[in-house]
Homo-oligomer: A and B are copies of this chain.
Amino acid sequence: MGRLTRKDVLNKAEALKNWGKWGPDDELGVLNYITPEDIVNAAKLVQKGKVFGLGLNLDEHGPQRGIFGGRWNPLHQMLATGTDAIAGTQDVTPALRYADDAINLPTQCATQWDALSHVFLEDKMWNGYPAALVDSRGAHKNGIEKFADKMVGRGVLLDVARYKGVEYLEDGYPITIADLDNTAAAQGVEVRRGDFVIVRTGQLEDRLHKDDWGGYAGGDAPGRAFETLDWIHTKQIAAICSDTWGIEVRPNDTGPDVFQPWHWVTIPAIGIVHGEIFSLQELAEDCADDGVYAFFFCAPPLVITHGTGSPINPQAIK
C-alpha cells in the first residue's frame, strides 16, 4: 500500500462502518459485543488474587507539553492541610481536623478512555450523529457517561515488544496484523469477540526510565499500522488499548490531507474506543513469568456528564 490519501481513509471507514448495527440510538459501539456470559467467564480468570493498576500517576511529572489544544499535566491543589490543622486554624467549634484537595486535568492527559465523541469522521461522529452535538457544553451524544458500567470483561495483553525481543519498539515502527497474530500465538493467548485488547510497545516504560518524555505526547511513536483496522473489525474486539499516547503508529504513511488516519476509522466508523497511556510494566512482567496473558479487566470511567474522555486507573486482575 502506498501513501494513504484522504480517499483511501474514507473508503476504509465506509467499508468498516458499523453505524446502525445496534439501532439508530446506540451510543456504545462495539462494547455491545460484550455479553453477560463473557463477564462471568472473564471473572474465572481471577486465579491468583493479584491486582495490577495500569494508571500512570497524575501529577506534574506527566507527559503533557501543551500539544493538541493545550493539554496540561494535572494540577493538584489543597483545600485544607495538616499544617493548617496543627496551626490550630481549623479548631473552631465544632472541631474536625482534616485535609482536602482538588484536581484539574484534561480528561486525556494521562491513562484514559476516549469517548465515542472524541474523533469525528468529517461532519459526523459514531452512529452518524452530527459532530455539532459536541459543543462548548459537552458531548450531547456519545458522552463518556454512557460507559459508566460497560468497561468490564476479559482483558488480553499482546506484548509485542517482548515478542520482538526488544525493550521497546522504535518510534515509527508499524505494528502489523502479522505482529499481532504472531505475538498472540507465541504468548499462547487467543483474541476473542468482546475482548479488551492491550498492546504493549514498551515506549512508556522507556520514557520513564530515561526521565524524559520527549515527543511522547503527540510526537512519533510505535503503534498500530493502518491495516490493523481490518483485524479489529474482524475480531470484533470491544476496546483497543496501548501504552502510547495514541495507539496508532506515528507517523502513519499519509499524504498531507489526512492525519492519524487510523483514528478516523476506529472511533467514529467502527465505534471502538481507545484506552491510552496504559502503564504496563508490572502486568507484562507477571504475564511473562506465569505465561498467562488473559485476565479479568475492570476500568470504570468517571461519570463525566457529556465528557469526551475520562482519566482512569484500569485494573487487570489475575
- Interface residues, chain A, CB within 8 Å of chain B? 35-40, 42-44, 46-53, 55-60, 66, 68-72, 74-89, 93-108, 111, 117-123, 125, 130-139, 145, 148-150, 152, 254, 256-260, 263-264, 296, 298-309, 311-315, 317
Contacts and interface: CB of A to CB of B under 8 A. Distances in A.
14 contacts: A55-B300, A55-B302, A57-B305, A72-B72, A76-B305, A78-B78, A83-B83, A86-B131, A87-B132, A94-B254, A95-B257, A97-B119, A99-B134, A99-B308
Given A81-B81, A85-B131, A136-B83, A68 B308 contact: no
A132 B83 contact: yes
B137 A69 contact: yes
Contacts of A80: 69, 136
Contact of A70 (B79, B300, B307): B79
Instruction: Tell me the number of copies of this protein.
Output: 4
Contacts of A149: 51-53, 315
A77 B76 contact: no
Of A59, A117, A137, chain B has the most CB atoms within 10 Å of the CB of A137
Given A53-B149, A99-B117, 7 more contacts: A39-B50, A58-B302, A71-B100, A82-B120, A98-B118, A103-B104, A300-B313
A203 B76 CA distance: 30
A178 to B, nearest CB: 27
Contacts of A35: 49
Given A75-B72, A76-B305, A313-B148, A100 B82 contact: no
Contacts of A313: 148, 300-303
Given A75-B72, A79-B136, A37 B49 contact: yes
Nearest to A144: B101
Nearest to A297: B298
Of A50, A70, A78, A101, chain B has the most CB atoms within 10 Å of the CB of A101
Contacts of A97: 119-122, 131
A205 to B, nearest CB: 16
A300 B317 contact: no
A301 B258 CA distance: 37
